[in-house]
């Protein structure tokens, strides 16, 4: 199994690929922590407080992370 630091980098790589789409809509996301297979991220800009943020997280970001990073079983939004 990958270490937390390696998982953090792998998840952050996925987020970097998705970031242009978030920025285009006036938002962004920051990976805060990866621990015990859980990636925690914070939404920034227009994404922070947006009613669609949960859908963006679960249907877009989480799905992309699950497809590309083994060892992550949950993605959570933190405030």
Count CB atoms within 10 A of the CB of residue 2. 15
34-60 average pLDDT score: 89
Instruction: Kindly report the pTM of this predicted structure.
Output: 0.89
pLDDT tens-digit map of 1-17: 567 899 999 999 999 99
Q: For the chain, what are the domain ranges? A: 4-77
Torsion of CA 67, 63, 14, 40, to 10 degrees: -120
Range with the lowest mean pLDDT among 2-6, 16-20, 64-68? Answer: 2-6
4-77 has which CATH code? 3.30.300.130
**Cα–Cα distance list, 38 to 20, 24, 25, 71, 73 (Å):** 23, 27, 26, 9, 6
């Amino acid at each position: 199994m990958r270490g937390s630091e390696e998982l953090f980098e792998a998840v952050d790589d996925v987020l970097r690929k998705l970031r242009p789409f978030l920025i285009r809509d006036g938002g962004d996301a920051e990976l805060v922590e990866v621990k015990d297979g859980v990636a925690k991220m914070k939404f920034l800009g227009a994404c922070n407080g947006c009613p669609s943020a949960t859908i963006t997280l679960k249907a877009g970001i989480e799905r992309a992370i699950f497809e590309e990073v083994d060892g992550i079983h949950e993605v959570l939004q933190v405030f």
